[in-house]
Chain A
Amino acid sequence: MKDAITAQGIGKTYRLGEQATAYGLMRERVADLFKAPFRKREASAPKEPFWALKDVSFTIGQAEVVGLIGKNGAGKSTLLKILSRITEPTEGRVDLYGRVSSLLEVGIGFHPELSGRDNVYLNGAILGMSRNEIRRKFDEIVEFAEIAKFLDTPVKRYSSGMYVRLAFAVAAHLEPDILIVDEVLAVGDAAFQQKCLGKMRDIRSEGRTVIVVSHNMATIATLCQRVLWLDAGRLTMAGATQETVQRYLSEGAQYDMSWVPRHPSNAEFEYHSVSVLRADTKEMTDSIPGDVGIDIMFDFSVVKPLSDGRIELRLVNDFGEVLFTTTSADPDLRRNHPWSMGRHTFTCLIPANLLPPGTYRISVTHPFGGWDIVHENILAFAVTEQNSLAAIDGRAGKIAPRLDWSRD
């Protein structure tokens, strides 16, 4: 297999504080000019360079689809920007073989006043297509975007769905040898997303090389053969998707059994802790067998009585998918649920035999403001394969409940 991309020791540094001077006013530079001769060469403390990327080397073969994962600020975007030539590395070298297209965003250069037709040409040209190429693919693009009726309407009149579909359609009809994609897949309604994923698979089967960044492990798992895992600007691991994603998920998640807010939230209400417990033994834990229920315990104080208090909880699986949302008012069908003053303990029981093995994360809301005030991913716990139905036969499904069957 021939190489499509080779990167050798790429590093990128932003000097701390550089942003300020780079953005700065000319006055400072002019003032420096005058001050310079009079100022002693004081040993100005050398500014600590901040390496957004350091020593990143990898090789990607032709027709490989490679995922790029890592936490926020791990350097994923910087790496993408270097590969797509938007910014220059401070050190190292990258060789790219083939036509490169990068999609860090869809619809670059779209102008709201212009019609859909005009924007296709404009955006296509910005993405590097020639006029002839766009003309040739024009009908296909319009059909893909499903906007034929509105071709001559200014895109400012488009619904956001139409806008995004058109933007993606142009991008999808690029014919690069190497495609660099940043989470742009996550656009449009569900049906269109399916279509985009299908298009991505086509791209793959056409033998193009793809680098895709995503926080969604499901996308990564379905699309990629290999994964690069960046952490704090360094390549932590590069390997087969399954292995790398598993390592990333197990190390990336915080396995705290109990969460205590760092700052008191507000005067009227305060969380003391949120904890995960085994429902059978009531001990705090971070891993629970498949056939044991899970208690999520909320310990909080109400300073001012509330006529309608409600805690909401959301459970997210390995792949970033929301499995369910539940609220403390559900048992009363969300009728008003007055809270008295004082300290309370609520417990939410997630039944045994519901969750398949995997890692789960919990987000909870503040009783005021609903999902406006969210404590995100405060806890994580694992459901182990022990006595898990899903582990026995590897059945499909995001949940694996043990349901009642009546037999004659």
Chain B
Amino acid sequence: MSVVCASLGARASRPQSLGDLKSFAPSPWAPGVSPSLRKLGGRDPSASLRGGARGPREARLDLLRELGGRRKAWLPRDRLQGRLHTIIKPRRGLAQLDLAEVWQARELLGFLAWRDIVIRYKQTTLGILWAFLRPFLTMVIFTVVFGRIAKLPSDNVPYAVFTFTALLPWQFFATAFAESANAIVGNGYMITKIYFPRLILPLASVAVGIVDFAVSFVILIFIMIGYHTPISPRVVMLPLFFALCVIFTIGLGLWTAALYVRYRDMRHLIPFLTQFGMYVSPVAYSTSSVPARYRFLYSLNPMTAVIDGFRWSLLGTTQLYVPGLVAGTVTSIVLLVAAVYYFKQTETVFADVM
């Protein structure tokens, strides 16, 4: 670095000697107001708010109008001061959630998700076709292995359709969880170089999963048409079950992402968790094959409620087990809240530990 700097220095117009630095004093300054403030007429907005002729409301509206177009997305705004006011100090006690900050950075979330999607299919021959092939091939393998060879019951629906309705939410969960869990460590080089709301990273990974989900959903429609399986009118309830799935995924993903920064063991644990998770969720088999006395315990896994919900609303075959649904929902929400708090609490050391 020093060599490069030196050559830069050689280029910079250099003072004649140290004793002559004054001649390089900066050219006359613009009046000491930033452009945004100048637009406000150069007056100190806080002064006018304190006792000016205009009421605070008008002044505030003025400010919003002025700042609205060009504010930096995620910095807190001290509107009454007329300038952004950022306070940096050690956090004590419960972390501040500052979800508004995350909302303001939603464009960044979009860009990061878009980046991940584009990169995934760059330099592949089949390109975007993979988005269709991956879920489709998984379904074919499941149908052959579990449907044909193991002959697992499928609630009187073609096995391909039966398993694909479960693979839809399951694959979303498995990939989005793994990706979001890795989001902080995987983007460590960004964490140590610039500030932005850290929550954006795992959330962007989940957003990528949602795009994949949409693609898979289209395939499901075609498969159901191919097998002449009617779609149940209960399909209107599907978004609710998907929402539950997303909540659970974000909760688990955030928590793991924050833990992963400190405990690199997660790298080995994550693939194991998703694999193990598939066996304790009704992906390849039906919930009806689970003995009734284990039913509630089994339903504590929110993915059970999600997958049953998908089958219930798409195929109309599976019965909804309400205590399980409630348990799954409560588990997911509690997990999400706890995970967000844990994440916010530990994010202050991300850059130090990374």
Residues on A with C-beta less than 8 A from B44 are: 2
Q: Say yes or no: A105 contacts B35, CB within 8 Å.
A: no
Q: Say yes or no: A62 contacts B118, CB within 8 Å.
A: no
A83 to B87, CA, bound (A): 10
Among listed A21-29, A304-312, A339-347, interface-contacting one: A21-29
Partner-B contacts on A (CB < 8 A):
1-2, 14, 19, 22-27, 29, 61-63, 65, 81-102, 104-105, 108-109, 111, 113-114, 118, 121-122, 125-131, 133, 154, 175-177, 183, 185-187, 190, 193-194, 197, 201, 204-208, 214-219, 221-222, 225, 241-242, 245-246, 316, 318-322, 356-358, 390-391, 394-398
Which one, A133, A208, A219, contacts B12 given CB within 8 A?
A219
Q: Say yes or no: A122 contacts B111, CB within 8 Å.
A: yes
Residues on B with C-beta less than 8 A from A316 are: 6
B15 close to chain A: CB less than 8 A: yes
Residues on A with C-beta less than 8 A from B190 are: 108-109, 126
Residues on A with C-beta less than 8 A from B70 are: 133, 175
Residues on B with C-beta less than 8 A from A207 are: 29-35
The residue in chain A whose Cβ has the minimal distance to the Cβ of B81 is: A97
- Jot down 13 A-B pairs with beta carbons below 8 A, ordered by A: A22-B352, A25-B265, A29-B263, A88-B349, A101-B72, A108-B193, A114-B118, A118-B118, A126-B111, A193-B7, A204-B26, A320-B6, A321-B9
Apart from A85-B195, A218-B8, A218-B12, 13 more pairs, CB < 8 Å: A62-B33, A63-B34, A86-B191, A114-B122, A127-B194, A193-B8, A205-B29, A206-B34, A206-B35, A207-B31, A218-B9, A242-B18, A394-B17
Q: Say yes or no: A97 contacts B83, CB within 8 Å.
A: yes
Q: Say yes or no: A126 contacts B194, CB within 8 Å.
A: yes
- Contact residues of B between 325 and 354, Cβ < 8 Å to A: 348-349, 351-353
Residues on A with C-beta less than 8 A from B94 are: none
Partner-A contacts on B (CB < 8 A):
1-22, 24-27, 29-36, 44, 70-75, 81, 83-91, 107-108, 111-112, 115, 118-119, 122-123, 189-196, 262-265, 348-349, 351-353
Residues on B with C-beta less than 8 A from A114 are: 115, 118-119, 122
Q: Say yes or no: B123 contacts A113, CB within 8 Å.
A: yes
Q: Say yes or no: B30 contacts A205, CB within 8 Å.
A: yes
CB distance from A202 to the nearest CB of B (A): 10
Q: Say yes or no: B107 contacts A113, CB within 8 Å.
A: no
The residue in chain A whose Cβ has the minimal distance to the Cβ of B116 is: A111
A194 to B8, CA, bound (A): 8
Residues on B with C-beta less than 8 A from A190 are: 7-8, 11
Q: Say yes or no: A128 contacts B196, CB within 8 Å.
A: yes
Q: Say yes or no: B24 contacts A25, CB within 8 Å.
A: no
A249 to B151, CA, bound (A): 81
Q: Say yes or no: B86 contacts A95, CB within 8 Å.
A: yes
Residues on A with C-beta less than 8 A from B86 are: 85, 94-97, 100
Which one, A93, A219, A395, contacts B9 given CB within 8 A?
A219
The residue in chain B whose Cβ has the minimal distance to the Cβ of A8 is: B89
A198 to B70, CA, bound (A): 24
Q: Say yes or no: A186 contacts B16, CB within 8 Å.
A: no
A148 to B8, CA, bound (A): 25
Q: Say yes or no: B85 contacts A97, CB within 8 Å.
A: yes
Contacts A63-B30, A221-B24, A390-B17 given; does A88 touch B2 at CB 8 Å: no
Q: Say yes or no: B2 contacts A215, CB within 8 Å.
A: yes
Q: Say yes or no: B90 contacts A91, CB within 8 Å.
A: yes
A99 to B11, CA, bound (A): 31
Q: Say yes or no: A88 contacts B191, CB within 8 Å.
A: no
Residues on A with C-beta less than 8 A from B81 are: 97
CB distance from B200 to the nearest CB of A (A): 10
Q: Say yes or no: B194 contacts A222, CB within 8 Å.
A: no
CB distance from B11 to the nearest CB of A (A): 5
Residues on A with C-beta less than 8 A from B35 are: 175, 206-207
Contacts A81-B351, A222-B24, A225-B25 given; does A125 touch B107 at CB 8 Å: yes
Q: Say yes or no: B21 contacts A221, CB within 8 Å.
A: yes
Q: Say yes or no: B5 contacts A128, CB within 8 Å.
A: no
Q: Say yes or no: A26 contacts B8, CB within 8 Å.
A: no
Q: Say yes or no: A321 contacts B115, CB within 8 Å.
A: no
A204 to B30, CA, bound (A): 9
Which one, A99, A183, A206, contacts B75 given CB within 8 A?
A99
Residues on B with C-beta less than 8 A from A104 are: 193-194
Residues on A with C-beta less than 8 A from B351 are: 81, 86-87
The list of the 6 closest CB pairs from A to B, nearest first, reads: A218-B9, A85-B195, A216-B5, A207-B30, A94-B88, A242-B21
Q: Say yes or no: B6 contacts A216, CB within 8 Å.
A: yes
A219 to B75, CA, bound (A): 30
A225 to B25, CA, bound (A): 7
Contacts A97-B81, A225-B25, A358-B17 given; does A92 touch B12 at CB 8 Å: no
A98 to B67, CA, bound (A): 11
CB distance from A234 to the nearest CB of B (A): 19
A111 to B85, CA, bound (A): 32
Q: Say yes or no: B263 contacts A26, CB within 8 Å.
A: yes
CB distance from A140 to the nearest CB of B (A): 15
Which one, B5, B83, B85, B349, contacts A320 given CB within 8 A?
B5
Residues on A with C-beta less than 8 A from B111 are: 121-122, 125-126
The residue in chain A whose Cβ has the minimal distance to the Cβ of B119 is: A113
A309 to B91, CA, bound (A): 60
The residue in chain A whose Cβ has the minimal distance to the Cβ of B266 is: A26
Which one, B14, B17, B85, B122, contacts A96 given CB within 8 A?
B85
Residues on B with C-beta less than 8 A from A215 are: 1-2, 5
A206 to B351, CA, bound (A): 32
Residues on A with C-beta less than 8 A from B1 are: 183, 186, 215
CB distance from A394 to the nearest CB of B (A): 5
Most buried by B among A2, A217, A395: A2
Contacts A94-B87, A205-B29 given; does A216 touch B192 at CB 8 Å: no
